[in-house]
Chains A and B, each alone.
Chain A
């Protein structure tokens, strides 16, 4: 039973470029959330996808967008990269149930913007 996987593990981009990060949820999970974790900080909620739609969004600009595919995998896209976008990007998945289901994190993608 595979856990949450993310790709790539590391990425280096320059300012102004665009980046796409990928996430495959844990088997049986249908809800994917994305978080940005800057060095020394807690994970910051970017948005959540369920049934291929964005359900909730944190305080992130429109440069951050996403997508969820029929197989529940998800992508995070960031346009017009800024130096401040350098961070660990974490994907977390859970199964949407009647009550709160446990959320599990992927290993993250470490993005460096130069």
Chain B
């Protein structure tokens, strides 16, 4: 079925430490994996994405890794800052990219 599993649902890390959020997907044909950040009362904002022809992508403190064989991908945030506190969603396309399904989200708390 069309499924994106995301873990953990809640994550608390000390400011300056790293945070890792993991997702698995069910459609082996999926080839594009975006991550969105949603702050309270705002729209989801794309923060990074990865396509299936690469295994890792970095953008400053944010990185995403992809393991197509295992059908999982992860978001890594290093040197976390208070403004990283938000809900993060992973997503994956199904049915030849026509339907993008989201995970249930991870609420990230950055502790002072």
Contacts and interface: CB of A to CB of B under 8 A. Distances in A.
Given A42-B103, A100-B32, A100-B51, A55 B44 contact: no
A65 interface: no
Nearest to B52: A100
Interface string A37-52: 0000111110010000
Nearest to B92: A100
Contact of B89 (A43, A58, A100, A107): A43
A interface residue count range (under 10 / 10 to 19 / 20 to 34 / 35 or more)? 20 to 34
Contact of B99 (A42, A58, A90, A106): A58
Interface in A25-64: 33, 35, 41-45, 48, 55-56, 58
11 contacts: A41-B105, A42-B89, A42-B102, A43-B89, A45-B100, A45-B101, A56-B99, A99-B51, A102-B46, A105-B44, A106-B43
Given A45-B102, A56-B95, 18 more contacts: A33-B100, A43-B102, A44-B102, A45-B99, A48-B98, A48-B99, A90-B43, A90-B44, A99-B32, A100-B31, A100-B97, A102-B34, A102-B49, A103-B34, A103-B100, A105-B36, A105-B44, A107-B42
